[in-house]
Amino acid sequence: MSVDPTLAVIVVAAGDGTRLLAGRPKALVPLGGVTILERALTSVFAMRAPAQVVVVAPPSAVEETRSLAERVAGIASGLLHVVPGGTSRTRSVRAGLDALLPSVRSVLVHDAARALCPTSLLESVADAVRSTGEAIVPGLAVVDTVKEIDDRNAVVATVDRERLRAVQTPQGFPRDLIERAYADDGAERTDDAATVAAIGGTVRIVAGDERAFKITTPWDLRRAELLVSRSDLRTGVGIDVHAFSDIGTLRLAGLEWPGHAALAGHSDGDAVAHAIVDALLSAGGLGDIGSLFGTDDPRFAGASGEVFLVGAVEVLAAAGLVPVNVAVQLIGNSPRFSPRRAEAEAQLSAIVGAPVSVAATTTDGLGFTGRGEGVTAIATALVRSQAGALLE
């Protein structure tokens, strides 16, 4: 990719994860189906502007780290660099700084262990660095009462928590400032802002995000797993209705039905396929079939339901979502659906890339479907983020 980015994100992923008790480097521990590293990188690569991404890998797992990172980067892999880390966090950050491209002017240093950090926080810190030219650190207000103690665990004083902030990553810096800080200061410090402050740099706080907590202990990992399991799945509903027509061949549920009256519509009138499209788009919050494939577009005149299903899956993928399953209820007197149910479900499942089940019923002669004037299809869809499905 021929891009000269002015922003770089150094993702520190070289920790051994001893306190996590997982038996392998922390960044490579699974979290909701993918690794902690992949979760962190998904937010990084979703940033608006292209950025160089430097992943500082565990020295013993550089190639594994590279493979995982390249899978998340996709077409942006030209901006990805993976380098081995050092024996301490400070040395790992230095390794990341050494890999920066000449065009980079602003640097974010981010811990892979803050795997659920949203893209919005990365953008906020990067914007603040560009606008102020200073070091920027996200922080949260301290809600607990904080006590100062002596070496006998006796309370000495109550600290004014109004002036305290619990800091997070990403921490952002002008490139020249952080490179100078790491060149001039050889001390091991707990964060990069402290290294910059040690040489007299100004560090300012912006609002942090509760989701950017650090995964350090098994309890932290369990908390992250619960959050991922709740946020990955989304549901949607779609309904489509078509009247029968005297012209053409019936297409329904992805199949042709010779000898039956066709369904009227700008396209092929496949109510089952169209209901599935609306359910998938609804689950992704991506509009509906009319807004994406309008009836005023001649490309879709007479188009098969497969065209719209493939298009909906592609739109979901562009939004970072994949189908999990779809269920459809077909309502009408004709055609008799059960003899071809398995065939229809196999056809639709292959197109959608996830299980599709179809049930059929009648309305006992009530309404337009009961009078044999047309059919109704009602679909529900479940989708999830691609990050939650990468390893399946």
Is pTM beyond 0.75 here?
A: no
CB atoms within 10 A of CB 318: 10
Predicted confidence (pLDDT) at residue 388 exceeds the cutoff of 90 = no
Q: Is residue 202 part of a domain?
A: yes
**Alpha carbons 162 and 135: distance in angstroms, whole number:** 21
Is 272 part of a structural domain of the chain?
Answer: yes
Residue 182 belongs to a domain: yes
360, part of any domain: yes
Span 311-357, pLDDT tens digits: 899 888 888 788 999 999 999 999 999 999 999 999 999 999 899 99
Residue bearing the bigger pLDDT, 104 or 75? 104
Indicate the burial class of 238 (C-beta count within 10 angstroms; 0-12, 13-18, 19 or more): buried
Tell whether 311 and 339 lie within a shared domain. Answer: yes
pLDDT at 391 over 70: no
Residues 236 and 224 in one domain: no
CATH number of the domain enclosing 126: 3.90.550.10
Domain that holds residue 120: 7-230
Q: Judge if 258 and 159 occupy the same domain.
A: no
Domain membership of residue 2 (yes or no) is no
Q: Does residue 1 fall inside a structural domain?
A: no
Place of tokens 């509906």: 288
| Residue 54: partners with Cβ closer than 8 Å, 6 or more residues away | 8, 9, 10, 11, 81, 82, 83, 96, 99, 100
C-alpha 41/C-alpha 43 separation (Å) is 5
Q: Does 215 lie in the same domain as 237?
A: no
- Whether 86 is in a domain gets the answer yes
Q: Which amino acid is at 312?
A: A
* Residues in Cβ contact with 355 at an 8 Å cutoff, skipping those fewer than 6 apart: 325, 326, 345, 349
Q: Are residues 167 and 265 in the same domain?
A: no
Residues 319 and 284 both lie in one domain: yes
Specify the higher pLDDT residue, 254 or 57: 57
pLDDT band at 302 (very low <50, low <70, confident <90, very high): low
Residue ranges of the annotated binding site for a divalent metal cation are 240, 242, 274
Asked whether 181 and 78 are in contact (CB, 8 A), the reply is: no
Residue 77, domain member (yes or no): yes
Q: Do residue 75 and residue 98 come from a single domain? A: yes
Of 204, 230, 256, which one is at a domain's C-terminal end? 230
Query: Cα separation of 313 and 351, whole Å?
Result: 9
| Percent over 90 (pLDDT), the chain | 68
- Do 212 and 246 sit in the same domain of this protein? no
Domain boundary among 175, 201, 230: 230
Sorted by sequence, the CB contacts under 8 Å of residue 134 that are 6+ apart come out as 174, 201, 202, 203, 204
Which parts are annotated binding residues? Answer: 240-242, 266-267, 274, 288-290, 361-364, 368, 371
Mean pLDDT over 102-124 rounds to 96
First to last CA, the chain: 28
End position of a domain, from candidates 197, 230, 263: 230
| Residues 221, 110 share a domain | yes
Q: What is the pLDDT of residues 192-218, one digit of tens each?
A: 999 999 999 999 999 999 999 999 999
Q: How many domains does the chain have?
A: 2
The answer to whether residues 80 and 73 touch, using CB atoms and an 8 Å cutoff, is yes
| 206, 319: one domain | no
Instruction: Tell me what pLDDT residue 76 has.
Output: 81
User: Which domain CATH number covers 279?
Assistant: 3.30.1330.50
pLDDT at 386: 63
Q: What is the pLDDT of residues 23-54, one digit of tens each?
A: 889 999 998 878 999 999 999 998 988 999 99
pLDDT band at 13 (very low <50, low <70, confident <90, very high): very high
Question: Do 116 and 209 reside in the same domain of the chain?
Answer: yes
Looking at the structure, do residues 202 and 75 belong to the same domain, yes or no? yes
